[in-house]
Amino acid sequence: MPQDAFTLRLTARELDTALRGGRVNRINQPEREELSLIIYTGKRTVKLTLNVNASDCGAYFSEDDRENPLVAPNFCMLLRKHLQSAQILGAEQVKFERILAFRFACVSDFSTAERVLYAEIMGKYSNLILTENGVILGALKTTSADEATKRIILPGAKYVLPAPQDKTDPSDRAALAALLKNASGDTERFLFTHVAGLAPCTARQIAESYRGGDLADHVYGYIFSDEVSPCVLERDGEVVDFYARYTEGAVRFASLSEAQTYFYAKRRARQGLENARRRLGNAVNAAIRKQEKRLAQILDKQKEAQDCETVRIKGELLTANLYALERGMKACELVNYYDEAGGKIRIALDPVLTPAQNAQAYFKRYRKQKRTLEALAPQEKEVRAELDYLKSVLPFLAAAANAEDLKAAEEELTDMKLLKAPQERAKKKRPEIPFRAFEKGGFRIFAGRSNVQNDRLVRMSAPDDVWLHARNLHSCHVVIRTEGRQVPAEVLAFAAGVCAKYSAGKGEKIPVDHCPVRRVKKPSGSKPGFVTYTDFGTVLGDPALAEET
């Protein structure tokens, strides 16, 4: 992102024009390193976002409606105390630094003051600092008193600018001319390395626009020109970067703020999607590991108890041969009349016990092992069913293309107690997330976004509708609304492709079973998404045929 001094100079000009004279209506802090100021400009209400996260730092208008924490963080409370209802006097860049200064006229019943909120847009060193008369009132990120630093950021300390880089300030024309007089090698790299306030992409644009003549005049003119042609570069549906000057293949915007709003909204949506996918995936995988550990313990206990029949036989043989045994024996060898070959079996004995007591000890051990096996059988079945269900959730997470897909999965995991339910601000009915919807050859086709939606889709379908599911693989349920019509082969192939796309088949062609919905049954007490079906046919599902509408 070119959040360099060059871009921030143009950003400050736009913000000053838009915000000067406006009043602060509300201040929120939706994220730990992000601040939102709701400002009435006299014509409309805008939301100014000040983000100091290392990967998303910037100052721009946004339109998202994100929820704020129930309890405002300390810095947010400080700003509400000092800036609520304040009038904005202006926004400007501090020297040629990556710092924006927002000046506020603050009037209360007891005092009048001018305060400055500094937004330092400097990557991982970004910060928000509120000052009055050059003294820090508070900061989003403070330094501790024992921290070895030349710059103290604490309430009561004097606000000083960050130490300058060991580069030439381009606003000093004489110094810039002296620097570029001896410029050599790659111009782009030279500018980025030696001129302050330029991101690599800005240095590249300056170098590419140079057509000869005085390089210092060109660089100065480019940096301090008021020309702006904002754009956002996208590749394969993903935003790559935004620019203050047009670059080849980018989408143009009316203002730099609009370009940043679009860029950050798209980027935040993608990051939010990936973060949610990772969070839900971690919850499912943690539950899978827990069940796998439980299954391993069950199998170990079953292995220990699986020789119970041998133990019973030993007890029977001891009982049949009591006359031949004596107390104090440590072991004996007896003919195993349960063995068709008539072989002998060695039986360990407790010398402290009588032969009869040894036989009873074997019977007692047999009964215990048998009870263990009987108790473990339903437990194993339950754990395997739980594992199968949990693994069925993973394809939904992997195939999620938008927030609605992941919201459906999150609601399912919350209902199944695999995720903690979010704290509700007010009790209200949760709206149902719509199915994935398609249309092919005049037929409507629907696919579930989660196991819970799969069950709902089957319940809401007519008996003659066609139901599809990947054979021997976890997948979404797909239903073709027939409305009494015969389904053509191309429609069935398309629906099978949808089923293959949203399955664990990893983008490969897979067999997909299909049958009328009346042939699909959900066993009582089964996990979400689990059904049985009969009288089915099979087609090859090609995910390349599926195109979401």
Write the pLDDT tens digit of every residue in 295-354. Answer: 999 999 999 898 899 999 999 999 999 999 999 999 999 999 888 887 899 999 999 999
Is residue 110 domain-shared with residue 207, that is, in the same domain? no
Tell me if 512 is assigned to some domain: yes
Is residue 112 domain-shared with residue 177, that is, in the same domain? no
User: What is the extent of the structural domain holding 26?
Assistant: 5-139
Place of tokens 């796998």: 292
Tell me if 487 is assigned to some domain: yes
- Whether 380 has a pLDDT exceeding 70, the answer reads yes
| pLDDT score at 527 | 87
Q: What is the mean pLDDT of residues 356-365?
A: 95
Asked if residues 72 and 29 have their Cβ atoms less than 8 Å apart, the reply is: yes
| pLDDT score at 111 | 81
* CB neighbour list of residue 21: distance below 8 Å, 6 or more residues apart: 41, 42, 87, 88
Counting the structural domains of the chain, the total is: 3
Is residue 134 domain-shared with residue 180, that is, in the same domain? no
Q: Choose among 116, 117, 118: nearest CA to 98.
A: 118
pLDDT in tens, 255-287: 898 898 889 888 888 888 888 889 999 999 999
Tell me if 156 is assigned to some domain: no
Helix (H) or strand (E) holding 130: strand 127-132
Helix axes 256-305, 403-415, angle to 10 degrees: 40
The whole-angstrom separation of Cα 209 and Cα 222 is 9
Is residue 114 domain-shared with residue 16, that is, in the same domain? yes
| pLDDT score at 431 | 62
| Res. 85 pLDDT band, cuts 50 70 90 | very high
Q: Could you give phi then psi for residue 259, rounded to 5 degrees?
A: -65, -45
| pLDDT score at 127 | 94
| pLDDT score at 549 | 45
Is residue 455 domain-shared with residue 524, that is, in the same domain? yes
| pLDDT score at 149 | 64
Place of tokens 């007890």: 315
Is residue 98 domain-shared with residue 198, that is, in the same domain? no
Encoding tokens for residue 298? Answer: 């069950």
Who wins on pLDDT, 458 or 398?
458
Q: What is the mean pLDDT of residues 112-137?
A: 94
pLDDT in tens, 148-184: 567 889 999 999 998 888 899 999 999 999 988 877 7
The pTM score is 0.67
Who wins on pLDDT, 424 or 466?
466
Q: Could you give phi then psi for residue 346, rounded to 5 degrees?
A: -95, 130
Is residue 11 domain-shared with residue 107, that is, in the same domain? yes
In the chain, what percentage of residues exceed pLDDT 90? 62
Encoding tokens for residue 8? Answer: 């921030």
Q: Which of 243, 258, 273 is where one domain is finished?
A: 258
Is residue 15 domain-shared with residue 107, that is, in the same domain? yes
- What 3-state DSSP class applies to 533? strand
| pLDDT score at 469 | 95
34-40/45-51 β-pairing: antiparallel
Tell me if 377 is assigned to some domain: no
Q: What is the mean pLDDT of residues 455-473?
A: 93
Encoding tokens for residue 132? Answer: 């009055």
Encoding tokens for residue 446? Answer: 């629907």
| pLDDT score at 405 | 83
- Whether 482 has a pLDDT exceeding 80, the answer reads yes
pLDDT in tens, 395-445: 888 888 778 888 888 888 888 888 877 655 444 555 677 898 999 999 999
| pLDDT score at 104 | 96
Q: What is the mean pLDDT of residues 111-125?
A: 92
Q: What is the CATH number of the domain that holds 101?
A: 2.30.310.10
Is residue 12 domain-shared with residue 130, that is, in the same domain? yes
Q: Which of 237, 258, 279 is where one domain is finished?
A: 258
Encoding tokens for residue 429? Answer: 């009915």
| pLDDT score at 468 | 95
Place of tokens 């979404």: 476
Tell me if 310 is assigned to some domain: no
| pLDDT score at 145 | 63
Tell me if 430 is assigned to some domain: no
Residue-averaged pLDDT of the chain? 89
Encoding tokens for residue 50? Answer: 């000040």
Is residue 11 domain-shared with residue 135, that is, in the same domain? yes
Place of tokens 């203050």: 244
In the chain, what percentage of residues exceed pLDDT 70? 96
Is residue 127 domain-shared with residue 246, that is, in the same domain? no
| pLDDT score at 425 | 47
Tell me if 229 is assigned to some domain: yes
Strands annotated E in 260-352: 331-335, 344-348
Is residue 188 domain-shared with residue 125, that is, in the same domain? no
Asked if residues 441 and 490 have their Cβ atoms less than 8 Å apart, the reply is: yes
pLDDT in tens, 27-80: 999 989 999 999 999 889 999 999 998 888 889 888 877 778 888 999 999 999
| pLDDT score at 426 | 46
- Whether 379 has a pLDDT exceeding 90, the answer reads yes
| pLDDT score at 238 | 85
Q: Which of 258, 283, 318 is where one domain is finished?
A: 258
Tell me if 196 is assigned to some domain: yes
Q: What is the mean pLDDT of residues 363-385?
A: 93
